[in-house]
């Protein structure tokens, strides 16, 4: 689920900010401004019942604003992040809703936006595979 959600976040950011680069891997050399960085910072999985697990993952989206109009640009970006990350499309039939969305500005003027995505997982007969249960997915809007 972690990579599926991360890919969904990247897709939502690319759709909402088509001219801003989005990185989902660490950048070795200097970061480009403006740009986004996406990572899962706190994945959790707990046994619910039988072979069902509840997965609750915290994702961090860091926005590096341009130098000019930094504050206004950051505020507009945060408002858009609340909208575009509320419901992610993971596949043609699966949508997932973000919750506990928060934002703060760090000392270096970067915007740190966090959001939780949760879903029930089911362990199949193959112990290396977990499948997402569709029953917890968000209905199309």
- Helix 2-16, helix 70-84: angle, nearest 10: 130
From first to last of its 141 residues, the chain has per-residue pLDDT tens of 888 899 999 999 999 999 999 998 877 777 788 999 999 999 888 888 888 888 899 999 999 999 888 888 999 999 999 999 999 988 777 899 999 999 998 888 899 999 999 988 777 766 566 655 544 455 444
Note the pLDDT of residue 140: 45
The pTM score is 0.82
Domain ranges of the chain: 2-136
Q: Report pLDDT for 132.
A: 58
* CATH no., domain 2-136: 3.30.2000.10
Total residue count of the chain as it appears in this document? 141
How far apart CA 96 and CA 135 sit, in angstroms, is 11
pLDDT for res 141? 44
29 sits in which H/E element: none
């Amino acid at each position: 689920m972690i990579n599926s959600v991360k890919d969904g976040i990247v897709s939502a950011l690319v759709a909402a900010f088509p001219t801003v680069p989005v990185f989902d891997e660490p950048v070795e050399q200097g970061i480009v401004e403006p740009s986004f960085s996406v990572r899962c910072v706190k994945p959790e999985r707990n046994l619910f019942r039988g072979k069902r697990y509840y997965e609750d993952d915290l994702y961090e989206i860091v926005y590096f604003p341009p130098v000019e109009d930094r504050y206004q640009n950051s505020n507009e970006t945060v408002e858009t992040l609340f909208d575009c990350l509320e419901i992610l499309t993971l596949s043609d039939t699966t949508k997932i809703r973000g919750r506990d969305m928060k934002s703060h500005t760090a000392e270096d003027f970067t915007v740190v936006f966090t959001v939780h995505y949760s879903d029930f997982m089911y362990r199949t007969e193959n112990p290396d595979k977990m499948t997402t249960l569709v029953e917890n997915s968000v209905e199309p809007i």
